[in-house]
Amino acid sequence: MRNNIGVLMKTIVLYYSRSRKTALVAETLAEELSADIMEIKDVKNRSGLLNYVNASMDAIRENKTQISPENVDLSNYGLVYIGSPTWAGKPAPAMITLIDQCDLMGKDVILFSTMGSQGGNSVIKRMKEKVEARGARVVNYLIIKTGNQEMVEIRENTRKKIQENDLKIFGI
């Protein structure tokens, strides 16, 4: 992708993953699309049943959380993939925090969500509202069902979505 003065702009995949399923989707996207990749980590412990329940409540309330890295410089990127798991029909708090901290002005964004069985559309809708409010343009999105899927199936389903959505054209 070239910016308005002809400089080649790169693609990056930003994601958060607790169960590693969203990580697998992100890694597959980065590999297939020759993109850079960066995992956004939630400093708060989100493992275990009680922490999972608290995480779901944080997602519903859109509570911010401390993330690592704290800041992401997107100045060298023209296309940004942003991916989140579905928690109680909402994006993970780490991704809400990231979006609210990033300078997305003038960026093209492709959103992706993973979901066990449902809720992916509402995650995409909410992330779309937030990135557009920050000056980005959502050019496409993906929803990947990961419930009851083996890792090899998730990787293959992601590759199929890349082809179905003709995502390789966006990085040109």
pLDDT of the residue at 2: 46
Is a pLDDT exceeding 90 seen at residue 159?
Answer: yes
Q: What is the mean pLDDT of residues 70-79?
A: 94
φ, ψ dihedrals at 131, nearest 5°: -70, -35
Q: What is the mean pLDDT of residues 20-31?
A: 97
CB 79 within 8 A of CB 108: yes
The domains found in the chain, sorted by start residue, are 10-171 (3.40.50.360)
Q: What is the mean pLDDT of residues 97-116?
A: 96
Q: What is the pTM of this model?
A: 0.91
Is a pLDDT exceeding 80 seen at residue 94?
Answer: yes
pLDDT, tens digit, for every residue of 110-153? 999 999 999 999 999 999 999 999 999 999 999 999 999 999 99
Q: What single letter denotes the amino acid at residue 8?
A: L
Task: Quote the CA–CA distance of 109 and 103 in Å, as a whole number.
Answer: 12
Is a pLDDT exceeding 70 seen at residue 163?
Answer: yes
Question: What tokens appear for 93 in the block?
Answer: 């708090």
pLDDT of the residue at 172: 52
Task: Quote the CA–CA distance of 61 and 66 in Å, as a whole number.
Answer: 15
